[in-house]
Structure 1
């Protein structure tokens, strides 16, 4: 049973690493359900929402580091923006760990699903939102492989505030925060999809490290499960960054939408059944 569990966790780690790296999510939307289900099948009662979130965040850090190294080599990461977002996400990540301890598993699952459903709706309507003339404090330009120039930017205060919410989400649900960061970067700040995903992974790595230290302090990590997920997540993170470099921005957006909707339906369904 241990070998079968290890094999499933390695496969899940690779799949989550690849998809999470492509979409800039970190992979937590797969790790958390897998830990709650498979972990408790192997050892009933061993994985609480707090353990699932804490263990997931450790593995997300592995995925994010692997992806970030590859994306940095491809020069797709807006490092200055990532560091600014981290100023907000770091304290949010610490707060999220404490909020997580207040949630029973049914409430955790339902909130996770509803949160993802809201993100899916945002992703669907974002293209219908007319661009506004925003007096950004910071402006950026990016030229993609096809020669198209994108202009994006943000106000520092707004960016830090949003990053704070992302940090809370990261530790609260153990998802890395990219599931909120990437849509917000694209919708509010007009980041091109590839830069949003790559920059998000670096922010996720920083936030995951802060949240993980807090989780370790509170003994919210199952190191046995983390060790089984991490190797696949590392490989998947590298492969995902390579695959993403060959994909068009709209393809990345489509994958993001499908993943968010699918996981939202699954988590809401589980909360209703339990």
Structure 2
């Protein structure tokens, strides 16, 4: 009887982890977040329910970045088929975001548990605010030295551009935060690409996922080297992440994403408040 109950608990935990990977990847792919901003707090807050034991923040981040590789790859492949990825701009952003993700990953474990929750909670509140503010902000009108064009599915040609040094600086900052929190960095990449460099939103989301894929490989490698990756959790989350990455990219091509964005904003606020409360309790 006891063995049967244990098997049932294992099956329930596995199903919950698959669903977590699926939901996080769908959200992440639609808005270019990568899903880590859902996976990391969920693993820290729901560790006992999902695995029967608490999950420390460094392991949550390392595990999230490993799963992020799969999510971002699935999304990138789908977006590439739709010809929505600006690979040239993506590789340039990766020049700084990749090494910075490694530095951020190395710093994760140095933050104390309560401090990490507090900082991450505040960061998530800022991300929710940014996701709200970007609906009311207009792209900066400036003639950047590097000019690019993109023709969407409706035959409309969009012109956007950037300067190399500002773009590399953006990659550096986003990569550092990505490695530190295990979130992929799309929550910062997409608004900056849209508002500062005038990328079309769908192109920004797709290109962001490509950069996230590359940076996550380096960031997760550092966490794995430091022993901060739970490979059993990765295996449980990957199936849902792969399906969710492709599903999210497909949904993004069929909708404006406004309702999903509002659901994501509310989710971020609720998770952030819980993390901040828990962070204060652990100080």
Please indicate, yes or no, whether the TM-score normalized by the shorter chain is above 0.5.
Answer: yes
Change in CA separation of 1:111 and 1:5 when aligned onto 2, cut-off 3 Å: same
Where 1:113 maps in the other structure, the secondary structure is helix
1:198 matched to 2:206? The reply is yes
Q: 1:249 to 1:144 in 2, by over 3 A?
A: farther
Q: Residues 206-240 of structure 1: CA distance to partner in whole angstroms, max 9, x if unpaired?
A: 00000111111111100111110011100111111
For 1:110, the equivalent position in structure 2 comes to 118
CA 1:161–1:252 in structure 2 vs 1: closer, same or farther (change >3 Å)? farther
CA contact (8 A) 1:58 1:212 kept: yes
Q: 1:251 to 1:273 in 2, by over 3 A?
A: same
**Cα distance per residue 1:42-99 (max 9 Å; x no partner):** 3434x21111100010001110011101000000111111101100111111110121
Structure 1 unaligned blocks of 5 or more: none
Matched with 1:96 is: 104
SS, match of residue 136 in structure 1: coil
User: In 2, are the aligned partners of 1:29 and 1:263 still within 8 Å (CA)?
Assistant: no
Find 1:44's aligned residue among 39, 53, 64. 53
For residue 77 of structure 2, the aligned residue among 69, 82, 93 is: 69
Of 18-27 and 178-187, the range deviating more from structure 2: 178-187
State the number of aligned residues.
Answer: 273
| Aligned 8 A contact 1:22 1:241 in 2 | yes
1:58 has 2:66 as partner = yes
**What TM-score results when the alignment is normalised by the length of structure 1?**
0.91
Query: Residues of 1 paired with 2:24 and 2:138: CA distance?
Result: 33
Structure 1 position 166 matched with structure 2 position 170: no
| Residues 53 and 174 in structure 1, CA contact (< 8 A), matched pair in contact too | yes
Whether contact under 8 Å (1:21, 1:27) holds in the other structure is yes
Stretches of structure 2 lacking an aligned partner (at least 5 in a row): 1-8
Q: 1:224 aligns with which of 216, 223, 232?
A: 232
Q: Taking structure 1 as reference, are residues 140 and 220 closer, same or farther at Cα in structure 2, changes over 3 Å only?
A: same
Matches of 2:99 and 2:151, distance apart in 1 = 33
- Give the secondary structure class of the aligned counterpart of 2:142: coil
Q: How far apart are residue 193 of structure 1 and its match? A: 1.4
C-alpha root-mean-square deviation of aligned residues, in Å? 2.1
Give the 3-state SS of the residue equivalent to 1:145 in structure 2.
Answer: coil
Q: Does structure 1 conserve the Cα–Cα contact (< 8 Å) formed by 2:120 and 2:181?
A: yes
Preserved CA contact (<8 Å) 1:193 1:249? no
Is residue 233 of structure 1 aligned with residue 244 of structure 2? no
1:119–1:183 CA contact under 8 A, matched in 2:
no
How high is the TM-score relative to the length of structure 2?
0.88
Once residues 197 and 267 of structure 1 are traced to their aligned partners in structure 2, the CA distance between those partners, rounded to angstroms, is 27
Q: Which has the larger radius of gyration?
A: 2
Provide the C-alpha distance between the structure 2 equivalents of 1:137 and 1:56, rounded to a whole number of angstroms.
Answer: 36
Q: Is the 8 A contact 1:194 1:249 kept in 2?
A: no
Question: How many Å separate the matches in 1 of 2:145 and 2:159?
Answer: 13
Quick one: distance in 2 between partners of 1:49 and 1:117? 18
Q: Name the SS of the counterpart of 1:134 in structure 2.
A: coil
Give 1:129 shift: 4.4
Residue 178 of structure 1 corresponds to which residue in structure 2? 186
